[in-house]
A and B are shown apart, each in its own frame.
Chain A
Amino acid sequence: MNHNINRIVIVGGGTAGWLSAGIIAAEHRVAAESADHSFQLTLVESPDIPTIGVGEGTWPSMRSTLQKMGISETDFFRECSASFKQGTLFKGWRRGNDDSYCHPFSAPHGYTEINLAPHWQASRDQIGFADAVSPQSVLFADRQAPKQISTPEYAFNVNYGYHLDAGKFAEFLRKHCVEKLGVTHIKANVLGINSAENGDIASIDTDSHGTIEGNLFVDCSGQRSMLLGDHFGIPVLSKNTVLFNNTALAAQIPYDSDSDPIESCTLSTAQSAGWIWDIGLPTRRGIGHVYSSDHNTEDRASEELLSYIAKTVSKKAAAAATMRKVQFSPGHRAKFWHKNCVAIGMSAGFIEPLEASALVLVELSAGMIAEQLPANRDVMDLVAKRFNDKFLYRWDRIIEFLKLHYILSHRQDSAYWRDNHAPSSIPDNLRDLVELWRHQSPWHRDTVNADEMFPSASFQYVLYGMDFETQPSQTLRRSELTAQSQAQTLFRENAQRRAQLQSSMPTNRDLINKIHTYGFQKI
């Protein structure tokens, strides 16, 4: 009996399915059955169920993900309406007026050697934290790009991820997976699931392609979670007592002219009971309002969204806007890998897109499967346990990190913001961390794992962007004394680098036009 894990079946297309297929096939060569190392990767996609198209923002990790799959960054930009994302600009989160702060992708200058946060405290009234320690935020204002046309593909002057058209991205990945990576694509509806004696999924029955056998099934079927949820009954752990947002109204807004600037960060503007995302693609803006239906009515939420569109784009655009409503229950499955079935994407969990965690979780999940692919059924349960431990930990960290944005707010103007401060809504670990950070700034040893999703730099950007106060050290720290002059040098270097970037980086729009005309070089 052959116990080798050499037939993976992914159920569900969309970005989660195709991204997973690409990541696994980039690591494990798909080969014909007769070969010694027979490995097959099949993706079964329903021709009838439309993809939901979540996740239009990525983390910088997407660059290496695409590169590893052998994708040309030029092709990606041209075919996915992609643009550069360099971080997020949060507006109105502190007090609900004109306040704003940047959370750039680049780590603070000198981050591997020295913690600049205590040294910045002295000048916090003169300069924002991100401006003092990162060169990147200066590029947000004039919608400048993170690189030049002469910079090789995937390389950068300052760190970046992408904004993209999720529908086009799935299609682009499908083509690449099928044509270049040997993934088998089957368009069929799943009718039933057949169990093996040990309770594993042995095969799935389809309407047009008969029975498809496999020894590892990846559930990318979306919120429905056909395999892990429906078949195995793994429950969703609701997080709605921590994160209240459960409804989104999404609109696609055309530019007035095709020379309008394209934002180089995600704009996130706090509202009375949620926040509005604003994502600039070359072809359109994706603007949506994610809110708590317990704290807001759909009418009011839609009014707030239209008012935002009228103010930031135009009244004309607001009048022409059509909205699509998406409801979700914030939370994740109690586990993600059960027997020979693992869930990736919305089938694993869903949470408001405040930190664009959807696509990066797909990358991390598929990346771990690719790296740790169990050799045979006997060791699969060990890998599954590791996977579950890791991703339960990650979901907890994501939820805490998102919640941090709410509890640092000084807003008291609605029940939503007040409820967000209720102690019962704050996870214990997060409450402890915030208490600790009143006396010491986040630093490398705060984090438990080497591959944390949110390093201490992320916490610093949010805490100090939100005006959080860390008391000066009670003791005279030798490390800080000796680092004084080094810190001042780093601040100065950062200011120089800001000025240099500001004068040398093209606008997002210009660079994207050039990518379409000339393309990036590979070297």
Chain B
Amino acid sequence: MSSFAIVDSSVHRDLTVNTNRGAAFGDNLMFTMTYPMEFRDIQSCYPIFFSKDPETGQFYPVALLGFEEQSNLFLNGDQWEATYIPMTIRRQPFLIGFQPDPEKGDGATKPVVSIDMDSPRVTRNDGEALFNEDGKPTDFLQKTIGTLEAIHHGLEHNKGFVAALLEKELLESFTLEITLNDGSNNKLMGFYTIAEEKLQSLDGETLEKFNAQGYLQSIYMAMASFSRIRPMIDKKNAALD
């Protein structure tokens, strides 16, 4: 369960956040949402695919962390074994909430920093403090706010990116068949990837537009990220031994 509170220096003065890694903190994920602005870092560690939100059917890019539910191959006890940790993982237990904006009125909302009070990361006097003794946000909180802002923009960017991909029919579903060293055959289904043949037949005008919007780079980063599947299979095989 989650119960979100808007971060407030008067209420949350003595709150701290445990930034360790571990399954107990909800890090044992099969995949997590990502955003084109971090694709360069993501593709150096994880394959980038596209997944559908089961509640809305809408596509979004994901970084693949494992081959089955509740299995993150990069998590080893309290160690996250990768040079880059996705923003959606780092932001925990914070997220962006929205509340009415009285200055703008008319149902307008503004983003506010919220915290999941039920997260096991939320502690008192054990970890990173949110506020200094004088009530000013700590560097930790300021960095987190920076991450949340990036995610906020990333969500908007994703919408445009995905809409452009769908319009040009550049996404296709695929099944990844993996044979492990123990001879077992495993299938990874339910993800989507860039349709390379369609991409190669895009007209110049679209390519120019995609280039100007930064989509072209993101598309090729996602394609390049496929090379990260092999190291994940190696990790999986290593775990079998």
Known: A514-B56, A523-B171. 8 other contacts (CB 8 A): A149-B56, A149-B57, A150-B57, A514-B57, A520-B57, A521-B58, A522-B166, A523-B172
Chain B, residues 29-55, CB within 8 Å of chain A (1/0): the string is 000000000000000000000001111
Interface size on B, residues (CB 8 A): 14
Q: Contact check, A518 vs B56: say whether CB atoms are below 8 A apart.
A: yes
Chain B, residues 110-139, CB within 8 Å of chain A (1/0): the string is 000000000000000000000000000000
Identify the B interface with A (CB < 8 A).
52-59, 166, 169, 171-173, 192
A148 cross-chain contacts in B, Cβ below 8 A: 54, 57
Bound-complex Cα distance A149 to B57 (A)? 5
Closest residue of B by beta carbon distance from A519: B57
Bound-complex Cα distance A518 to B163 (A)? 12
B55 cross-chain contacts in A, Cβ below 8 A: 149
Bound-complex Cα distance A349 to B55 (A)? 45
Closest residue of B by beta carbon distance from A149: B57
Bound-complex Cα distance A521 to B169 (A)? 11
Bound-complex Cα distance A517 to B169 (A)? 21
A151 cross-chain contacts in B, Cβ below 8 A: 57
Bound-complex Cα distance A129 to B42 (A)? 53
Closest residue of B by beta carbon distance from A151: B57
Interface size on A, residues (CB 8 A): 12
A518 cross-chain contacts in B, Cβ below 8 A: 56-58
A520 cross-chain contacts in B, Cβ below 8 A: 57
Chain A, residues 376-387, CB within 8 Å of chain B (1/0): the string is 000000000000
Q: Contact check, A150 vs B54: say whether CB atoms are below 8 A apart.
A: yes
Closest residue of B by beta carbon distance from A520: B57
Bound-complex Cα distance A523 to B58 (A)? 11
B192 cross-chain contacts in A, Cβ below 8 A: 523
Closest residue of A by beta carbon distance from B190: A150
Bound-complex Cα distance A140 to B192 (A)? 32
A519 cross-chain contacts in B, Cβ below 8 A: 57
Chain A nearest Cβ from B203, distance in angstroms: 20
B166 cross-chain contacts in A, Cβ below 8 A: 521-522
B54 cross-chain contacts in A, Cβ below 8 A: 148-150
Bound-complex Cα distance A148 to B54 (A)? 8
Closest residue of A by beta carbon distance from B53: A150
Interface residues of A in 263-309 (CB under 8 A from B): none
Bound-complex Cα distance A519 to B52 (A)? 13
Bound-complex Cα distance A518 to B172 (A)? 19
Chain A nearest Cβ from B197, distance in angstroms: 14
Chain B nearest Cβ from A516, distance in angstroms: 12
A-B contact pairs, 26 of them (CB 8 A): A149-B54, A149-B55, A149-B56, A149-B57, A150-B52, A150-B54, A150-B57, A151-B57, A514-B56, A514-B57, A517-B56, A518-B57, A518-B58, A519-B57, A520-B57, A521-B52, A521-B57, A521-B58, A521-B59, A522-B166, A522-B169, A523-B169, A523-B171, A523-B172, A523-B173, A523-B192
Bound-complex Cα distance A517 to B56 (A)? 9
Interface residues of A in 503-523 (CB under 8 A from B): 514, 517-523
Bound-complex Cα distance A517 to B58 (A)? 11
Bound-complex Cα distance A519 to B59 (A)? 12
Closest 6 CB pairs of A and B: A149-B57, A150-B52, A150-B57, A518-B56, A150-B54, A521-B57
Chain A nearest Cβ from B98, distance in angstroms: 18
Closest residue of B by beta carbon distance from A504: B54
